[in-house]
Structure 1
Amino acid sequence: MTSRRHRTLSDLGMDGTQSLIIPQGLHDYSDAQVIMEHGQKAIFQKCIRSSVFGVEFYNSCPCLCFVTKGKEVFFTPTGEEIIVRAGEMILLPRNVFMVSNFSSTDGPLEALLFFFDNSVIREFERQSVHYYAQPASRIGAYKIDRHDSLSGFMRSITDIYKGIDGTRELLHTKLMELLFLVAAEDEPKRLKSFLHENCSDSGKRNIRHLMREHCSHNLSVHDYAHLSGRSVSAFNREFKRQYGVAPSRWLIEQRLTRAHDAVVSTDASITDIGFEIGYENTSHFISQFKTMFGITPKQLRLKQL
C-alpha cells in the first residue's frame, strides 16, 4: 500500500471526501514541505503541479499564505471569492472552513504558509501596544497586495532558511518579523483584529461546497444546517442569499432532476427511483415530478421508447 506521504494535495482535491486540517495534515502530502516547525508554530512551502479544485481545509491556528508563483482562489464560508496571485498574501483565520481552487493552466502553484501559535500572537500584541490601536471588530480572511518588503522577506525564507535545522527561537523570531512587516504595510488595526479575535465565521463551512459534495445524500435541511456549522434559521438565510431560493425548494429540484435522469437512463421501477431520492410515498413523488416536468415518470419513460 502506498504511504500517505506519497499522496499529493491534488489527490485530496480529487477525493473530495474529507477536510484537510492544517498545519497538522500537511505532513501527509509530498508537495508540502516543512521549512521550520515547533508545535503549532510552523513555516511550510507547498508546490502543486496539477490542477486541484474543491479542497476544503480548516485552520487550527491563524495562517498567512504568500503565493510566490501561480494563482490560488479561496472561498470563504459565506461564498466570498478571494483571488491571490504571485506576490500577494492572504490571511486565514483560525477555526474556519474554507475552500481552495488551483488551475495549472498558468503553470504550477508555489506558496509559503506561516502558522502562528498563541505565544507569538501574545508577544506581538505586547510589543505593538504603544504603536497600534486596540483591535477592531471581528474580521475574516482578507488579502494584502504586493509589497517589496514582504517579497524580500519571502525570498530570504526560501534562499537562506530552507534546508537548515531552525531552532524554536529562530522560528519565533522570523514569525515576529513577518507580523511587523505586515503591520507596516497593512492597516495595523485590521491585523490585530485578525490575530486577536475568533472569526465570526468560526466553525462554518462553505455552503456551495457542502451542497455540491453532499446533495446526492437524502439529508434534511436540519442535517445540512448542522453540517454547515449554522443554526437552521442562519442556514436558510445564508442559503437563500447565495442561491436565491429556499434550501427545501432547491433540494426538491435537485432530487427530482436526479429522478428524471434515472427514469430516462435506467430500468429501475418508478417506486424504486422515488424511494432512492427520499420519497417513501410514490404518489407524492409522481405528483411533484409532474409539477416540475409537466409529465409523469411513466409518461416520460414511454416517450423514450
Structure 2
Amino acid sequence: MENRQDQQITYSCYYAKSREGEQFAPEHVFNYQISGTLTVNDGERDYVTNAGDFRFIKRNSLLKFNKVPPENGEFKSISIFLTQEMLRDFSMEHHIVSDGDADHTAVHQLPAHPLYQSFIQSLAPYEFLTRQGNEELFRLKLKEVVMLLLKVNPELKNVLFDFAEPGKIDLEEFMNKNYHFNVEMKRFAHLTGRSLATFKRDFEKIFHLSPSRWLQQKRLQEAYFLIKEKGRAPSDVYLDLGFEDLSHFSFAFKKKYGVAPSFVKA
C-alpha cells in the first residue's frame, strides 16, 4: 500500500482489498474515485462509489471503508479535506453563513459534473502545488473546491458552514447503535457532546461497566451470535465489530466463551 499526504490533499493507492483506516471522519471530505470501488457504511446503509464517481463525506461521521481494487489493477482515489479553520476563513471572506438546518447524511453521492471533473484534472501538477513557496496556490485550490460545491450542490451550504459541535445526546441509545465502530474513546465522547471524563462517568452510571469493558463484552456477544446463529466466519466478523486484529479477537473470545471462535459450530 502506498499513501502520500501533503497538507489537505491525499492520494491513496491500494493493490489489495483493504478495510484499514480510522472509522471516523473528523473533517469534511471531497473525494474522487480514480479506479476500483469504495464502499462506505455508516451503520445503516452502504454507499458504493466506482471509478469516475464523486462523493462528499460529512465531518463527525462514524464510517467503515471497504476498498476494492479492480481486477489486476490498483485502487486509487484522491481526497480533499476541508478543515473547520479553512471553512471559517472562507465564511468570513465571502460572507456566507449557514441559514438553516444542516443535512445529517454522512455520505453524499455527487454528480459527475464537468466542473468537478475539470477540478480533478487541474490537480495533475500536484507536486508543483506542494512545493515550498506555492502555499497560496494550494490554498486557492482548496477554496475552489468549496466554491464548486456551492455552485453544483448548493444544498451543502448549511453542512459546510455549520460550525456547531455535537450537543449532549442519549448515551445509551448512541452506544447501542455505534459500538461496532473502532474509534478512540475520545471520539465517542465528542460525538455524544461530552468531555472524556464526563463520558466515562455517565457511561458507568448507565451500563455499570467501564466503556472499554462494555465495548469488548458487547462486541463479543454479537460475534458469538453471528458465528453461531448466522454461520459467519470469524475472519469476516472481527473487523465488522471493531476488533483491530484477528489474534486479539480470538484471544478475547476464547477467554470469555472457553473456546476459540473457529470451533463454534452453527
- Fold agreement, TM-score > 0.5: yes
Displacement of 1:90 = 2.2
Q: 1:195 to 1:70 in 2, by over 3 A?
A: farther
Q: 1:58 and 1:142, CA in 2 relative to 1: closer, same or farther beyond 3 A?
A: closer
Candidates 101, 106, 121, aligned match of 2:66: 101
Provide Cα deviations, 1:152-199, integer angstroms capped at 9, x if missing partner: 111111x2233440633222111111111121111x232332442457
The RMSD of aligned alpha carbons is 4.4
Contact 2:28 2:57 in 1 (8 A): yes
Other structure's SS at 1:154 match: helix
1:177 is aligned to 2:144? yes
Residue of 105, 120, 127 corresponding to 1:162: 127
Note if contact 2:84-2:163 (Cα within 8 Å) is conserved in structure 1: no
Change (3 A) 1:118 1:51: same
In the alignment, is the contact (CA less than 8 A) between 1:72 and 1:101 conserved in 2?
yes
* Alignment of structure 1 residues 190-269 onto 2, 5 Å: 190-198=156-164, 207=178, 209-210=180-181, 251=222, 254=225, 257=228
For the pair 1:32 / 2:3, whether they are aligned, the reply is yes
Equivalent residue letter for 1:174: K
Offset of residue 200 of structure 1: 5.9
Aligned to 1:86, the other structure's residue is in SS state coil
Residue 117 of structure 1 pairs with residue 96 of structure 2: no
- The unaligned stretches of length 5 or more in structure 2 are 193-201, 208-217, 230-252, 259-265
Change in 2 beyond 3 A, CA 1:275/1:88: closer
Residues 155/256 of structure 1: CA separation in 2 closer, same or farther (3 Å cut): closer
Structure 2 distance, partners of 1:161, 1:88, is: 20
Instruction: Give CA-to-partner distance per residue, 1:240-284, whole Å, 9 cap, x none.
Output: xxxxxxx79x649639949xxxxxxxxxxxxxxx994359xxxxx
| Counterpart in the other structure of 1:72 | 38
SS in structure 2 opposite 1:52?
coil
Unaligned runs of at least 5 residues, structure 1: 1-7, 9-30, 212-222, 237-246, 259-273, 280-292, 294-305
Residue 197 and residue 141 in structure 1: after superposition, are their counterparts in 2 closer, same or farther (change >3 A)? Answer: farther
One of 106, 111, 125 as aligned partner of 1:145: 111
Give deviations 1:8-48, integer Å, cap 9, x for gaps. Answer: 3xxxxxxxxxxxxxxxxxxxxxx1213x42xxxx1111111
SS at match of 1:112: strand
Q: Is the CA contact 1:139–1:200 (under 8 Å) kept in the aligned structure 2?
A: no
Equivalents in 1 of 2:10, 2:20: separation in Å?
21
Structure 1 CA distance for aligned equivalents of residues 167 and 44 of structure 2 = 11
Whether contact under 8 Å (1:59, 1:94) holds in the other structure is: yes
C-alpha separation in 2, matches of 1:169 and 1:192: 26
Give the equivalent residue in structure 1 for 2:92. 126
Is the 2:11–2:77 contact (alpha carbons within 8 Å) kept by the matching residues of 1? Answer: yes
Contact 1:139 1:190 in 2 (8 A): no
TM-score, normalisation: structure 1: 0.53
Report whether the alignment pairs 1:87 with 2:52: yes
Structure possessing the higher radius of gyration over alpha carbons? 1
CA distance in 1, matches of 2:28, 2:48: 19
Name the SS for the 1:180 alignment partner.
Answer: helix
- Equivalent in the alignment of 2:256: 277
Question: 8 Å contact 2:39–2:49 — kept in the other structure?
Answer: yes
